[in-house]
Amino acid sequence: MTAAAENEGTPGEHEASPEDERLAAGVKIDVLNMFHKGVHAPGGVFGSVDSGGRGRRFGPDTGKIDSQDLRHALDHYVVPPCQAFAEKWLTDDHVVIIGGLRGSGKRAAALSMLRGRTAGPLIALSPVITPDELATRTYERDHGYLVADQVDTAKEADTDFKWAAVRDAVREAGAYLVVTRTADAPEASGSVKHVFWEHLGAEVVLRAHLGEDSEALRELVELLPADCPMGDLADVAARVNAGEPLWEALRYLNVASAQSVREWFEQPRTRREGLEIATLAFLTELSEREFEARLALLEAQLDAFLPLPEQEPVEGGGEPVLEQSRARRLGPGSLMKTETVIREQTAVRVLVFKDPGYRGCVLAELSKRLPTPFWDAIKAWIHQLVEEEAHFDIARGLALLAETDAVEVEQSYLAPWSRGELGDQGRDTAAIVLWLMCFDEATAPVALRIVRGWAMFGSREQRLTAALALSGELAARFPTEAVRRLWKLLEQGSDADAEAYVQAFAMLFATLVHETNNGAIVLGLLVRVLDDFEIRPPRLRKRELVTRAVLSVLNVRGGPHHQLGICEFIRRRPDRLDLVARVWAAVLRSRPHRRDAVHALLRCIDPLQPEQTRSLGEALADAMPAAELVPLRESLDVVRQRRKRSDQDALIDVLLETLQSRRNTEGPTP
């Protein structure tokens, strides 16, 4: 028996407890649990099956664009007159920039033009990619590249020279690139042509989807605004074509909700009514007592920022009337209602909006109508509540507000919380706001731009907040960018912050595995780093840091059901067992870390099927030098003898037999 095997230790000493595993997964697992619980809650606005698709989780915004996404974007696509100019310049220069209002169909247009130039793969790049990065990246011949809704991240204005370099790089590679920007983005270059994208009228688009003689066409044209976003028009038309009643298809767009909310605000409203509707917009499903307690806090803040004028007492006035505020709050024309929910086996009456779609519409109207002192009061009130605890519902309200006023959300809430002004509660709530912003096509790139700024230019506290944010829904939406940014934070961070970055990186892996099946991006990066070590041996600190990151990835749990990420990856991606084996082999070959790696391996095979365990063993044997298989088998054998879990013996036997079989195939150890 080797010395390494003798040193495996007893189960009581070394086997990780469930609490140890939870901590190894990252101290912010509770924040992710809060997020998943809120996202998957019945009736939730974000990601819920009851949300009618609004706020749904989108697929990754970067990487190869699959055929289903392409077909969805281009089915019934209507070509606007301006596209002819853009196509000509794309053909000549291989690069074109198109700008226009959100919802004008720029992404579908870009895909249409790229597919018209090449039959090769289409690749979506990060919306925060800079001209310098575009000029220096590698392009493949006959590939099409898309930067959708490029966010301006430059510290200085883009120069014509940079965009000329982009054009030359793309053209020389024989590729094509389309960059879309919102109408308010500055013109990027004179070397690359710009086209302002026309917003086609709703009738033109609906006719392409529904046909000339559709009865629904005429009704929809009357009900929908002329500048309705192209994607919304396509989704409504698809619902109508699928047989949904017209009113149900429109409910998805919140058209009726927006009208009802607008009409409510156009009536004279008291100060108390405005505060009640604002309270509900940020805090739903509270009992009436809880609601009124939070309302009183907001009233006190508004009195400080926007005091009422003093009134002279009225002589001979009657007795003050005790207002029946609960009855009045739910009276005719109200946007609120009560529902009964069961909490701890007790029926509780809670306040909600009559229609879930009212919430975002209320925040939009408040933003448009009320002055700065009102928003100062809202800010002070929200800070007061978040200081007590991280709050998912407030985060959800802020994410909805960001659809109307992202600047207010960033400057008044995300920026101070990212700097640690409210401690962990503020940092955690900021991360949840950013994750929820990823459920909207307009605010997702804004969330990425904010976090990128913290990661690159922020304070120590902001870099830590960025790491937390990158480990969650931002990774699901922008996987490649999230992995790249978080790895840089891990490499460049101080020793004091190393564990936080390691945990965040592991949590990012769990998010990618459980949410979008993109865990191979993390494992691929680790394999490249380990391969580089073979060529250029690193300093001890970096090797230890990478080893810790690998072990954390192999131990992390995540997803709504707190499952072991690497085990789930093996189940979903048996075609990439080579990546799993390569990173595991690296820590199994490291004597100081072999014991931890072996215990992680045993935890992984516990829920696997025998054939999955056998495949993993074969991949491990292929990834490890033959000389290393003997100490690995002995270590596994020692652990099996010392563990008291006979139910796992069969799986360990499968693994041992596989390793022995591969060793015999390879021949004796030299």
In the structure, how many helices (H) and strands (E) does the chain have?
Answer: 35, 11
One domain, residues 600 and 650: yes
- Give the per-residue pLDDT at 20: 37
Examine residue 266 and state whether it is found in any structural domain, yes or no. Answer: yes
Q: What kind and span of H or E run contains 168?
A: helix 160-173
Examine residue 52 and state whether it is found in any structural domain, yes or no. Answer: no
Strand order of the β-sheet with 286-287 is 286-287, 346-353, 336-343
Phi, psi of 235 (to 5 degrees): -70, -40
Examine residue 383 and state whether it is found in any structural domain, yes or no. Answer: yes
Q: Among 253, 269, 288, which residue terminates a domain?
A: 253
The span from the CA of 508 to the CA of 332, in Å, is 48
| Section 28-35 average pLDDT | 63
Q: Among 395, 415, 439, which residue terminates a domain?
A: 439
Sign of dihedral through CA atoms 403, 405, 455, 170?
A: positive
Span 428-481, pLDDT tens digits: 999 999 999 999 988 999 999 999 999 999 999 999 999 999 999 999 999 999
One domain, residues 185 and 101: yes
Examine residue 398 and state whether it is found in any structural domain, yes or no. Answer: yes
One domain, residues 582 and 650: yes
One domain, residues 95 and 240: no
One domain, residues 234 and 132: no
One domain, residues 154 and 280: no
Chain position carrying tokens 């690359």: 192
Q: Among 168, 196, 224, which residue terminates a domain?
A: 196
Cα distance between the two ends of the chain: 18
Examine residue 314 and state whether it is found in any structural domain, yes or no. Answer: no
Can you give the C-alpha Rg of the chain in angstroms? Answer: 29
Strand pairing report for 194-196 and 95-100: parallel
One domain, residues 283 and 164: no
pLDDT confidence bin for 183, thresholds 50/70/90: low
Span 121-149, pLDDT tens digits: 999 999 999 999 999 999 999 999 999 98
Q: What kind and span of H or E run contains 112?
A: helix 106-117
One domain, residues 207 and 178: no
- Provide the CA 411 distance to its chain's centre, in angstroms: 20
**Could you tell me if 430 and 466 are in contact, meaning their C-beta atoms sit under 8 angstroms apart?**
no
Examine residue 570 and state whether it is found in any structural domain, yes or no. Answer: yes
pLDDT confidence bin for 4, thresholds 50/70/90: very low
One domain, residues 284 and 374: yes
Examine residue 145 and state whether it is found in any structural domain, yes or no. Answer: yes
The span from the CA of 468 to the CA of 121, in Å, is 33
One domain, residues 206 and 169: no
Examine residue 208 and state whether it is found in any structural domain, yes or no. Answer: yes
Containing domain of residue 231, as a range? 202-253
Q: Which residue has the higher pLDDT, 312 or 411?
A: 411
One domain, residues 214 and 261: no
How many structural domains compose the chain?
4
- Give the per-residue pLDDT at 491: 95
b or e along 515-537 (b: 16 or more beta carbons within 10 Å of the residue's beta carbon)? Answer: bbebbbbbbebbbebbeeeeeee
Question: What are the E-state strand segments in 314-362?
Answer: 336-343, 346-353
- Give the per-residue pLDDT at 17: 40
The span from the CA of 34 to the CA of 373, in Å, is 32
One domain, residues 183 and 156: yes
The span from the CA of 69 to the CA of 53, in Å, is 16
The span from the CA of 24 to the CA of 416, in Å, is 28
Residue 375 predicted with pLDDT over 50: yes
Span 512-570, pLDDT tens digits: 999 888 999 999 999 999 999 989 988 989 999 999 999 999 999 987 778 899 999 99
Give the domain CATH number at 142: 3.40.50
Residue 111 predicted with pLDDT over 80: yes
